[in-house]
Amino acid sequence: MIKSMKAENIDSPVLHSELFLRHRLQVVEELWETVLRQECGQEMVDLLRQLRNLCSPEGQATHHQAASAVELIEQLNINEAIRAARAFALYFQLINIIEQEYEQKQQLTRYAIQPEQKLFPSIIYTTNQREEDVLITKEVGSDLMTPETQQKGSFAALFPLLFQLNVPPQQIQRLISQLDIRLVFTAHPTEIVRHTIRDKQRQVVHLLQKMDDSISHAGSYPWETAEIKERLLEEIRLWWRTDELHQFKPTVLDEVDYALHYFQEVLFDGITQLYKRFKYSLEETFPWLQPPGTNFCSFGSWVGSDRDGNPSVTPEVTWKTACYQRKMVLDRYIKSVKELITLLSVSMQWSDVLPDLLESLELDQSQLSSVYDSLALRFRQEPYRLKLSYILKRLENTRDRNLALYNRETPQNEDAHKYRSGTEFLAELLLIQRNLRETGLSCRELENLICQVEIFDFNLTQLDIRQESSRHADAINEILEYLQLLPQSYHELSEEQRIAWLTAELQTRRPLIPAELPFSEKTNDVIQTFRILRSLQQEFGINICQTYIISMCREVSDVLEVLLLAKESTLFDPVLAVGTIRVVPLFETVEDLQRSRSVMRQLFELPLYRAMLAGGYAAINNTEAQTNPSIATLSPNLQEVMLGYSDSNKDSGFLSSNWEIHKAQKSLQKIAESYGVNLRIFHGRGGSVGRGGGPAYEAILAQPGNSISGRIKITEQGEVLASKYSLLDLALYHLETITTAVIQASLLGTGFDDIEPWNEIMEELAHASRQHYRNLIYEQPDFIDFFHQVTPIEEISQLQISSRPARRPSGKKDLSSLRAIPWVFSWTQTRFLLPSWYGIGTALQKFLDEEPEQHLKLLRYFYLKWPFFKMVISKAEMTLAKVDMEMARHYVNELSNPEDKTRFENVFEQISREFFLTRDLVLKITGHEKLLDGDPILQRSVQLRNGTIVPLGFIQVSLLKRLRQSKNAPTTGVIHSRYSKGELLRGALLTINGIAAGMRNTG
């Protein structure tokens, strides 16, 4: 199936790379067909070939060939259809692996020909999950040491660029010193691939790498390569016999385990390399500047703490999550210390030991006499080994206590010496490091451990609490009705009355909530969440959890309600205006984004809130702060605001959503600056373009003006975690590109965001796009029925991929209750991908109609010069390339009820017209002849998959049609299907799995 290339010019690096790709594809296809032949017979192989050959050369469905495909598929029984679906899904997963290897080879080749960069040969680039991380540059020129030709997104390119542009070193130093990048892992239901399958994929990658080594090694034997190929065949057969579908609905703690898997396998050991890359690259260009702290890039998590719409996330689950995280990190530290005991065998007979280390050993002897008694003779002349043995014992005591806390048992031996925090552990490691250095020694393993402790502490990640705003209002309303403190219901108060009452109540010391909770289960849950947050901070320190996010935040009272509930759990002291919790409003819909300016301005005007941000009244008055041992302080004058991409997109469309978020960032930054507050924007990005996804590097560079200033926080969700963090090199490349983009965006603003006529044009485009989008989604009377019939939305909701429901708890099957993830997931499966582009074409055409030639020139200029506009068009182009309107038409024709076909055809034609209009205008603006001509790697990747996604789509439609017919069949009387609903549902879900793998995206 893979065409061969001529062998001429085989020494060319580009040709060699292409030959590698083609050879790998050929190897994998042969293995794939061999497995299918062994497991299913030659007839199945012939069927799959026949189905794939029905597509156009570009891999798109065609009207004439659809009929042939349908006729062929309708003849399949359920078992044959399921096998075909599984075969195509397996093919996609194998192709993903091969492309990943191909891009690794390309990247390694680029670094191999740059001698100065051989220090970091593991930097790679992958097309895996291309919507999340697309390479920005396409060529590497001959002058490899110039900033323009270095790999964009790398430290090696960034610092020479800053030097060439004469950016003041003191400005670079100031930014580096405050660098604060946080990636927040979430458990949003978009990870469709089982972790069992991920393990199989990792094993295949390992075997392919071994095959490369065997082929390239001069001393290897042919039988060794043949044996590896046989092992590959065995592994793929085992994979074939492994169920792709999740066997049960995961619990929240299952999701915690899934998320921590990436730390266990990749990040914990690999993150230290990111700091080294930064440090050494900085020294190459600016040797006199100081590198950032080792924890300039850190991690947060919502897994086990995000309770928005997920009743399974209870206070007890959050407690167990924190204990589980600490267990993992302590186990790793214990392992590292044991290795250091073996390594640091320095003898006092041959090396000096400083007095401070000897003094610490005397103290350790008095506190941990059992360790001294058992090891003093053995390590009599080896002080570092003895010191590390004391450290090991304290770590083990800490681990044992943590296990008891996880099980809610009373810890045994509370008097045993242990570490109360990672800071105490770090201090002992630094003592050893200082002694080694002052005696002329160093230890890389110790340096790595110190770096890990500085990044992960004893907590691994910071947990963010998130809850929906109405839950707090409902809780306060019930509390006040129980206490009869107001003459009317809290819900009946106006916003001004709420603010006045909340502000007054926040300044009292009188308890509002009784110790025993006589309230409803929902209200008790809200109160207990704040109480467990306080318990977490007392046990783990405030770094474990200091952020409370309010989803669907609309008013000032939404923030003050959370602050009042925090006060009731002693997380906020009203007398000192000092707290250990940072309240973060999340503005999600377009209306909320527009309202965010006034909300934040009103908050900054409140003396109590402003004092809390500053670090208390004492900090504002420049007086010596009163000491309160029960209250620690947060970073002063830092306000975090979260912006939601998913709901704003579902609400108003892609173009309008991105523009409203862009405007909100500009406004919020100006407001914060006017009050002397530092702003950190938290971007709630999803995996797909329709939920804020896309190239991270490009997206950060497109942020407006001064809205970053070295600080950014970004969610990493679902299948994005697997695509970015499954392999060390992938993770490091991703983190490096994010860091370079943050620095570049902070120091090299373009100024184009402040050109008012451009903003006015963008406002017009966004308004027109939003209007056209809403005309279809919310005002077209047939659209809701169309969506539910022609997409697999109901079947997707039955996938066992998340502990969180697909809908918000309103009980309605409407768009307002449907979460953004299944919304995008459904459109991706049917090849419409509507949320990522609908409305753009009409908006652009309306603008072009005014002055066709001049406005087209202007839009092309925007695309070349304005990072925001280029990001929008590039994301739209990426998505449009994956759309297959003929395939989408097939879903409409086959899945529509007979009585609805006429009206649904009108909806489809409306969507189809907008697609072709948008596609044509995007091509005009970019100057490309075909979509993705500017990114041939992605273009080839999309075409490679399309030919197999199309027949899988035909199979999905066939199974969905049979499934829905069986559901509508009468429960008594004649049996209308020879297959059970369970069999048909399983087949449909398997096709969903397969298409998600082929599209590399769910929601």
Q: Which residues are catalytic?
A: 188, 650
What is the residue whose two structure tokens read 């809290």? 490
Q: How far is CA 441 from CA 291, 344, 390, 444, in A?
A: 22, 10, 21, 10
Q: Which two tokens stand for residue 803?
A: 């502990």
Q: Is 470 helix (H, G, I), strand (E, B) or coil?
A: helix
What is the rounded CA–CA span in Å between residue 626 and residue 687?
46
Q: Is 416 helix (H, G, I), strand (E, B) or coil?
A: coil
What is the rounded CA–CA span in Å between residue 204 and residue 219?
23
- Count of residues making up the chain: 1003
Q: Is beta strand 578-579 parallel, antiparallel or unpaired with respect to 572-573?
A: antiparallel
Q: Give the DSSP per-residue string, 512-541.
A: -S-SS--S-HHHHHHHHHHHHHHHHHHHH-
What is the rounded CA–CA span in Å between residue 77 and residue 788?
26
Give CA angle at 957 (952, 960), nearest 5°: 120
What is the rounded CA–CA span in Å between residue 947 and residue 944?
7
DSSP element (H, E) containing 584: strand 582-587
Give CA angle at 57 (52, 62), nearest 5°: 75
User: Would you call 338 exposed, middle or buried from its count of C-beta atoms within 10 A (0-12, 13-18, 19+)?
Assistant: middle
Residue 913 near residue 920 (C-beta atoms within 8 A): no
**Rounded to an integer, what is the distance from CA 99 to the centroid of its chain?**
21
| Residue 606 per-residue DSSP state | S
Burial pattern 557-568, b for ≥16 Cβ within 10 A else e, equals bbbbbbbbbbbb
For 890, list phi and psi in degrees, rounded to 5: -65, -40
Q: Which two tokens stand for residue 216?
A: 């390239």
Q: Which amino acid is at 392?
A: L
What is the rounded CA–CA span in Å between residue 979 and residue 428?
66
Closest by CA position to 392, among listed 452, 454, 333, 459: 333
What is the rounded CA–CA span in Å between residue 184 and residue 114?
34
User: Would you call 227 exposed, middle or buried from its count of C-beta atoms within 10 A (0-12, 13-18, 19+)?
Assistant: middle
For 991, list phi and psi in degrees, rounded to 5: -70, -35
What is the residue whose two structure tokens read 């065609």? 62
Closest by CA position to 160, among listed 170, 149, 175, 171: 149
Q: Is 495 helix (H, G, I), strand (E, B) or coil?
A: helix
Q: How many CA atoms lie within 13 A of 248 on its CB side?
A: 5
Q: Which two tokens stand for residue 510?
A: 């009188």
